[in-house]
Amino acid sequence: WDEWDEVRCPVLVVRGENGSMKPVEADRMRARHPGTRIGVIPGAGHDAHLDNTAAVYGEMAAFLARIQRIQA
């Protein structure tokens, strides 16, 4: 957690709906770094990128598009 407070760039946290990261943990991360986007992948577990690849790619694309708009 010490390093988390030093992050100064936009962050995407992807968690599986059925994964080990609980919503309260993701909310705590966002509270300490308000620019954090939390992507919850439906039907996915810990390996969200394998369980629902399309949804992970969708979250990544939306996140990168948002960053591009902010920096433009």
pLDDT digits (tens, 9 = 90+) for 12-68: 999 999 999 999 999 999 998 888 999 999 999 999 999 999 999 999 999 999 988
SS3 33: coil
Full residue range of the structural domain in which residue 13 is found: 4-71
Number of folded domains in the chain?
1
pTM for the whole structure: 0.83
For strands 36-41 and 11-16, give the pairing: parallel
Largest CA distance in the chain: 36
